[in-house]
Every structure is written in structure tokens, then in C-alpha cells.
Amino acid sequence: MDRRDRPALRDPRWARGAIFVGGIGFLVLFVVLPLATVAVEAFAKGFELYLHALNDPDTISAIQMTLTVAAIAVPLNCIFGVAAAWAFGKFEFRGKTILLSLIDLPFSVSPVIAGMVFLLVFGLQGWFGGWLREHHIKIVFALPGLVLATIFVTLPFVARELIPLMQEQGTEEEEAARMLGAGGFRIFWSITLPNIKWALLYGVLLCNARAMGEFGAVSVVSGHIRGLTNTLPLQVDILYNEYNMVAAFATASLLAGLALITLAAKSFLEWRYADQLALTRR
């Protein structure tokens, strides 16, 4: 609906100006300028030094670590999201509301606490600390701990995109396939998956952005061992604390680039496949 045809809805000129300047100004101050700062600081000493800063063995191993953690955490949360959406979206059962709110729980837990709980379970003083030590298995201050903390904080992303969508889509198509004799996996591959594929991609995008960018939870369980358990955000922290600004911001620019690509892909999905995303995204 075009608001211009509704004169009663037109704000006075001064109000329109104030809202425009206030809203855009706020976004420029808190969103555009920080982004610009990353770019300017990263290239402050020229393009060559930027590349040189990224070509550091510790930074490269941090990139590898970040990719490894995301490559494990995101598919697992993806499987969890699909399973949860199948159970919650296609069936009616008692206790559903409470279980649904439990899936959202990680969003209301501080990242620091998300990392800390794994120290309490797997750390030296923790429940399994002694046993793990005897069997020479390292969980915290090693890759498994980083993966666990990342899974914790990114757990809801795929599920919360798929559950409302699959509830909304109902079960008629799947039931028809069932009547025609299709088995469970056939129904999923031929009916459900094509219906949810863009929402699934949407959830994976958000999950991945958070998995690669997580700082607090990972910081607690990583132990900050250079070249071994450092992810990209932790590497930014280390370089920044060493006052190595060009390298810190060069590393940060990789993560900022990832954020911008995620935003662009997300906006594209919202625009192109709006009808195939959950109602809340349209």
C-alpha cells in the first residue's frame, strides 16, 4: 500500500526530517562507522602490509581452526534442526511448548557461561576431569572443547527457522506421499526437503556466521594456545592486545567480510524466496 495516497498518515515535514536524520545518523554512528574503521585500520599501512599481516602462520592456523570448528558444529546443528523441526513441526504432543522454549535457551545464556559449563564438566576439576586425564583425552583447551562451546551457542539457529515453517506448511503433502506408499526417507527427500530448502539455507547462514565469529564461549575453553587452539576472533584479541593494529584489523576484516556476505545472502533470500521462509521473515 502506498502511504503517499493516505494524507492522514503523512508526518509533518519537520518530523520526517528528524526521523530520517535520527534513524540514519544512529545507524551510521553505530554500524557504518565501525565497519569503515575496520577497513581503514586494516589498510592503514597499505595493501602490501595488509597481505603480509594475513600471511602470518598463527593467523593462517587460526583460519584453519575457525573453518574446522564451523565444519563440525554447523552440520551437527543442521541435523539437530531438521530432526527437531520434524518432531515439533509435524506432530502434536504434550509438553511441546516447554521443549520449544528449551531449544531457545542458549540465546539467553551468556557466551562466557556457555564456555564455562564445559570447563565444569570436562576440565581438570570437573566431573570427568580425572578420567579424561588418565586416558589422555583432551577436551577443554583443545578442538573438542571449541566445537562443544560453538555448538552450544549456535544450537537454536537452524531449528528456529525450520520449526515455524514446517508447522505452517502442515502435514498434508507428507500424508499424501505416505498414502501412496512412500517410506520415511523418501517422504523427507522428495516432499519435505524441497519445501524447506531455502529456510534451511537461511538457518545455516546465520548459524555459520555465529559459529565462525563466536568469541566469549570459545575464549573460555580455548586456553589461547597460539597456532593450536586459536580461532580467528581469538587471534584478533591477541593481536590487538599486542598493539599490532594492522594485523588485528586485517584479521578482523576477514570476519567483517564474512558478516557482509552473510547479510547480503540473507537479504537476497528474504527478497527472492520470501514465500518459502517462515512467516516472521517476510
The footprint of other proteins on residues 51-70 (CB under 8 A) is none
Footprint on residues 211-230 left by other proteins (CB under 8 A): 212-216, 219-220
Interacting residue with other proteins among 60, 67, 105, 225 (CB under 8 A) = 105
Query: Judged by CB under 8 A, does residue 180 bind other proteins?
Result: no
| Binder of other proteins out of 54, 142, 143, 206 (CB under 8 A) | 206
CA pair distance 130, 207, nearest whole angstrom = 33
State yes or no: residue 181 binds other proteins (CB under 8 A): no
Q: Is 247 in the site for other proteins (CB under 8 A)?
A: no
DSSP-derived secondary structure letter, 6: -
199 binds other proteins (CB under 8 A): no
* Contact assessment for residue 129 and residue 122, using Cβ atoms and an 8 Å cutoff: yes
8's grid cell: 492522514
Answer whether 233's CB lies under 8 Å from 255's CB: yes
Q: Which of residues 71-100 bind other proteins (CB under 8 A)?
A: 79-80, 83-84, 86-88, 90-94, 96-97, 99-100
Query: Taking CB under 8 A as the criterion, which residues in 154-173 touch other proteins?
Result: 155, 160-161, 163-164, 167, 171
Residue 60 or 99: which CB sits closer to other proteins? 99
Report yes or no: 227 and 201 within 8 Å, Cβ to Cβ: no
Site residues for other proteins, 21-40, by CB under 8 A, read 22-24, 26-27, 29-35, 37-38
Contact pick of 135, 136, 180, 271 for other proteins (by CB under 8 A)? 271
Nearer to other proteins, 64 or 175 (CB): 175
DSSP string, 8-66: GGPPPHHHHHHHHHHHHHHHIIIIIHHHHHHHHHHTTT-HHHHHHHHT-HHHHHHHHHH
Q: Pick the closer one to other proteins by CB: 102 or 134.
A: 102
d(CA 132, CA 147): 17
Total residues contacting other proteins by CB under 8 A comes to 118
Among 49, 54, 121, 142, binds other proteins (CB under 8 A): 121
146 versus 155: smaller Cβ distance to other proteins: 155
Residue of 139, 152, 110, 106 lying closest to 222 (CA atoms)? 139
Burial readout 235-247 (b: 16 or more C-beta within 10 A, e: otherwise): bbbbbeeeeeebb
CB of 70 to other proteins, least distance (A): 12
Q: Residue 17, Cα to own-chain centre: how many angstroms?
A: 36
Q: Which three cell numbers stand for residue 10?
A: 503523512
Residue 243 in the binding site for other proteins (CB under 8 A):
no
Is there binding between residue 195 and other proteins (CB under 8 A)?
Answer: no
Residues 122-161, interacting with other proteins (CB under 8 A): 123, 125-127, 148, 151-152, 155, 160-161
Three-state SS letters, 123-186 = CCCCCCHHHHHHCCCCCCCCHHHHHHHHHHHHCHHHHHHHHHHHHHHCCHHHHHHHHCCCCHHH
Interaction between residue 267 and other proteins (CB under 8 A): yes
Q: How far is the CB of 30 from other proteins (least distance, A)?
A: 5
What spatial distance separates the first Cα and last Cα of the chain, rounded to whole Å?
16
- Residue of 45, 52, 138, 178 interacting with other proteins (CB under 8 A): 178
